[in-house]
């Protein structure tokens, strides 16, 4: 997780989310989502555009970007778990777009896959 010494004004971990990365307080907007718009190779957005589009203070967007640029391990962990779950459910199969029916995973399978993705 992020360094406990870092005090974020606009960011917090959403206890209702399975993701460990930080989100905008009181909103279901992951910091990584805002950072993705800022760093987009195809069409990068300015901080002001992101703030306006999401109805956020500019400082909240700056804080989200700073958090992501600090390379917190929880973002990589969330990515690895999500990729492993998508693979296990068949969502990475090339034919998935033609027949989008993911394999249902039991809670036990999901927990096992998460542990494996995190190397535990």
Closest CA to 34 of 18, 54, 14, 19: 54
What is the overall mean pLDDT for the chain?
Answer: 90
Render pLDDT for 61-98 as a digit per residue (tens, 0 to 9). Answer: 999 999 999 999 999 999 999 999 888 888 888 888 88
CA distances from 84 to 91, 105, 110, 115, 118 (A): 10, 12, 9, 10, 10
The answer to whether the CB of 117 falls within 8 A of the CB of 110 is: no
Q: How far apart are CA 39 and CA 107, in angstroms?
A: 35
**Which residue ranges make up each domain of the chain?**
11-71, 74-117
Where is 13: in which H helix or E strand? Answer: strand 11-13
Render pLDDT for 13-28 as a digit per residue (tens, 0 to 9). Answer: 998 888 999 999 999 9
Render pLDDT for 28-59 as a digit per residue (tens, 0 to 9). Answer: 999 999 999 999 999 999 999 999 999 999 99
Give the pLDDT confidence score for residue 4 in this predicted structure: 54
Give the pLDDT confidence score for residue 2 in this predicted structure: 47
């Amino acid at each position: 997780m992020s360094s406990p010494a870092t005090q974020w004004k606009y960011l917090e971990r959403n206890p209702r989310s399975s993701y460990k990365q930080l989100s905008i307080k009181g909103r279901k907007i992951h910091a990584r989502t805002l950072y993705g718009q800022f760093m987009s190779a195809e069409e990068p957005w300015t901080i002001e555009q992101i703030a306006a589009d999401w109805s956020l203070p500019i400082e909240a967007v700056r804080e989200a970007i700073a958090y992501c640029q600090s390379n917190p391990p929880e973002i990589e962990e969330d990515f690895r778990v999500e990729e492993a779950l998508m693979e296990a459910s068949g969502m990475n199969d090339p034919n998935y777009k033609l027949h989008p029916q993911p394999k249902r995973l039991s809670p036990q399978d999901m927990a096992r896959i998460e542990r494996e993705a995190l190397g535990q």
